[in-house]
Chains A and B, each alone.
Chain A
Amino acid sequence: MAEKLPAKERMKITRQEMSNQDPDERKNNFDEVPFGFTEETALIEAQRCLECPKAPCIKGCPVEVDIPGFIRLVLEKDFAGAARKIKETNALPAVCGRVCPQEEQCEMVCVLSKKFKPVAVGHLERFVADYERENNLTELPEIAPPTGRKVAVVGSGPAGLTVAGDLVKLGHKVTIFEALHKPGGVLVYGIPEFRLPKKIVQAECDFLAQMGVEFKNSTVVGKLDTIDELLEMGYDSVFIGTGAGLPNFMGLEGENLIGIYSANEYLTRSNLMRAFDGDSYDTPIIHGKNVAVLGGGNTAMDAVRTAIRLGAENAYIVYRRSEFEMPARKEEIHHAMEEGVQFHLLTNPIKFIGDENSKVKQMECIKMELGEPDDSGRRRPVPIADSNFILDIDLVVVAIGNSSNPLIPATTPGLECNRWGNIIADEKTMLTSRKGVFAGGDIVTGGATVILAAGAGKVAARAMHAYMMGKSVEETATT
């Protein structure tokens, strides 16, 4: 193992960063932007961890990965062991190493960040997970003897995949029902290739299949079979992880013109249907020259960076608050800026104008200023009178968030939802108002993060196991 340097020395090491594809080059391709650590940089970075006894990073992680523990294994050059260590609590390290907002979680509370830069936990996580996968070191975990219990998992996003993995290991027979033709949820249809290569998601799903999870794709629960029918068919327990997949629109004049997409549609065409590779795939997509993306979250950044790659000459983010309030990860905003995205901040669209063929050609906007804080504590944007202006555009992507899809609640009597249509589940067990039916991820929280969805899956799996083995669900509740 690499010698651990004395703490003082370690603090002198500068944080290692991944090298990135050059912005001018990556603008023209869908390959991943950062290249990932080399063994060398990983070992240097691992030295920086002080292994402080309190390890605030563990508490900063929504699923409490033993961060100093896995970093120690990196230092010992047991990279696959490090990946396995993470997998004890997070089934999807290759994904989370790429898309988690570490800067708001583990890295934010890293002791080093007070004086220096925090340990690059995310980069290390990605490195060990990739190392394990690329060197075929992924070991099938021990599978407990069959329990004779059957589980139906509805939705194959990070929440559903996590539940499936945990329960199959415990000896249950697990079937995932997925509406789309490919599993992965937002990881396959939403997040673009340049941020999360789809082969990584596929590898995770293949791994689950090897462990014995059965995938039933192209199966819409609530349309083919309802939750109640699944229970009647002999599934002992059901997990609902159907995500937040109903795109919001703004209700503006002209919003249904040709050339106005929801982010879900735009990204699904490009990612799931692979319209970015028009030579090989048949699904069409509009290649806008002047593209406006409405919104300031990760989804908006993904959409605007996709537009750049599909040949936009001008790609705008139109956001009604200021950069400070933008919910997207800083890294994504930075990448977007590097790639030439133009930001119309404190700007709100008010109507869309079409040509004689009902194609959108212009968008009328109004300038905003920040007023008093609203319920969310963020300052409320208010329009500035007579500040209207016209933006010439030929493609608009509306990325202002999703609501919950009513399909399952509407077909499951007795399943309680809150007033936004999110399924109500007990935080400690993810049990819903229906016996044996659990739920987690975006369908419970509203649009959140991959790691929170995966974390909810962990909690649910534990409670579902207890339920199926005839124990009280509450007993296993995590505290």
Chain B
Amino acid sequence: MPKVIDNMQIGPMVWKMRVEVPHLVEKAKAGQFVILRVNEEGERVPMSIAGLDRENGLLTIIYQVVGKTSGLMTTIEDGGEIADCVGPLGVASHVEKWGTTVVVGGGIGIAPVFPIAQAYKEAGNKVISIIGARNEELLFYRDEHKSVADEFYPCTDDGSFGHHGFVSDVLKKLMDDGVKIGMVMAIGPVPMMRVVANLTKEYNVSTWVSLNPLMIDGTGMCGGCRVTIGGETKFACVDGPDFDGHQVDFDLLSARLSAYREQEQAAMKKMLDDPNCRLHESVQNFKYPEPRKA
């Protein structure tokens, strides 16, 4: 069983976990993902790769508490274990030298877009990093992004840090200012990716988005992860997770993501109502986040 080196809270509902999976880490590339199970009874949950420490064989994942499984994950102690972790899955992000590239990370997507920024940089691109969250507390991974980005634009919805407003505002300004962008890579909540893709489409700038539908096996066996791309059905776990943002049917994606919302809420409630609930205090006061308006 894979060992959890450490598991810490880095924002109000956001945790960072490092798992020792040396072989996986040796093979993984930016843009890929893993699927893990917390325990025998647990679901298989896909997690983007948010960091690879090849020297120590450590995989970093960043997760937000959104339901029972992520709630349970917060209870794993440093040095503990998870039931299993399979990967690397999916196709690695396409990387070439485009010139100027923009990586856009929203919310939890700030994390997985970071290794891609690194890869873009290594390929000789200029990297502009735009990251956004509700408030300063949720704007993690700033130092990481700063360390690779040639230009760095943090944004918060409430103006508590950086630009007061959405990541798309900054991107629009760059394009209006005539910055010639070879490629945009956007990862974040569906509404954010939709806004970014709609915007870059107007300006005719190629854009990748990384999709996170519900999954089970992650090998193409179940079709649960299907997404509609340019009118065609694709399996995100094997054909993606990266797709041309201008072709994605975002409505369908967000609808499919909500398929089990009622069941998930019931499961979370049951767990929180349990007097022996071992969940982290901050999670015990958990409330379902309002859908973020874009």
> Which of A's residues lie within 8 Å of B, judged by CB?
179-181, 189, 217-220, 223-225, 245-247, 249, 251, 255-256, 258-259, 261-262, 264-265, 268-269, 273-274, 280-284, 286, 357-358, 405-407
Contacts and interface: CB of A to CB of B under 8 A. Distances in A.
Given A181-B84, A224-B24, A262 B222 contact: yes
Given A179-B217, A224-B24, A265 B223 contact: yes
B224 A265 contact: yes
Interface in B195-223: 216-223
26 contacts: A181-B44, A189-B221, A219-B86, A220-B89, A220-B218, A224-B27, A224-B88, A245-B221, A247-B221, A249-B223, A249-B226, A249-B233, A259-B259, A261-B223, A261-B224, A262-B223, A264-B221, A268-B217, A268-B221, A273-B44, A274-B41, A280-B41, A358-B252, A358-B255, A405-B219, A405-B221
B126 to A, nearest CB: 31
Contacts of B175: none
Given A219-B86, A223-B89, A247-B221, A268 B255 contact: no
Contacts of B13: none
A475 B292 CA distance: 68
Question: A262, A280, A283: which has the most chain B beta carbons within 10 Å?
Answer: A283
A220 B227 CA distance: 22
Given A220-B219, A256-B233, A265-B216, 7 more contacts: A179-B86, A249-B233, A261-B224, A268-B216, A282-B69, A284-B267, A405-B220
A405 B239 CA distance: 12
Contacts of A269: 216
Contacts of B218: 220
Contacts of A246: 220-221
Contacts of B267: 282, 284
Interface string B48-91: 00000000000000000000110000000000000111111100
A256 B228 contact: yes
A437 to B, nearest CB: 20
A273 B228 contact: no
Choose among B37, B86, B267 the residue with the greatest number of A CB atoms under 10 Å from its CB.
Answer: B86
Nearest to B235: A246
B256 interface: yes
B260 interface: yes
B23 interface: yes
B137 interface: no
Interface hub of B217, B238, B255, B264 (most chain A Cβ within 10 A): B217
Contact of B256 (A220, A251, A256): A256
Nearest to A251: B233
Given A247-B223, A268-B216, A268-B222, A258 B259 contact: yes
B-side interface size class? 35 or more
Interface in B228-287: 228, 233, 238, 251-252, 255-256, 258-260, 263-264, 267
- Of the listed residues A220, A249, A268, A282, the one surrounded by the most CB atoms of chain B closer than 10 A to its CB is A282
A259 B219 CA distance: 21
Nearest to B226: A256
Nearest to B91: A223
Given A179-B86, A181-B37, A284-B264, A256 B219 contact: no
B124 interface: no
A251 B228 CA distance: 11
> Binding site of B, secondary structure by majority: helix, strand, loop or mixed?
mixed
A275 to B, nearest CB: 9
A284 B260 contact: yes
Interface in B1-30: 23-24, 27
A218 B44 CA distance: 11
A283 B256 CA distance: 16
B220 A245 contact: yes
B252 A256 contact: yes
A406 B235 CA distance: 13
Contact of B223 (A264, A274, A357): A264
A358 B256 contact: yes
A265 B88 CA distance: 21
Given A245-B221, A268-B221, A281 B226 contact: no
Contacts of B252: 256, 358
B159 interface: no
B161 to A, nearest CB: 36
A227 to B, nearest CB: 14
A259 B68 CA distance: 22
Contacts of B220: 245-246, 405-407
Contacts of B144: none
Contacts of B263: 284
Interface in B140-187: none
Contacts of B226: 249, 256
Nearest to A402: B221
B84 to A, nearest CB: 4
B43 interface: yes
A224 B34 CA distance: 11
A407 B218 CA distance: 12
B217 A281 contact: no
A256 B87 CA distance: 26
B88 A217 contact: no
A268 B222 CA distance: 8
Contacts of B228: 256
A265 B256 CA distance: 14
Interface string B123-135: 0000000000000
Indicate the member of B37, B44, B256 with the most A CB atoms within 10 Å.
B44
A281 B223 CA distance: 21
B221 A283 contact: no
A291 to B, nearest CB: 16
- Residue of A223, A245, A246, A265 most packed against chain B (CB within 10 A): A223
B44 A224 contact: no
A218 B228 CA distance: 28
A286 B255 CA distance: 15
Contacts of A256: 226-228, 233, 252, 256
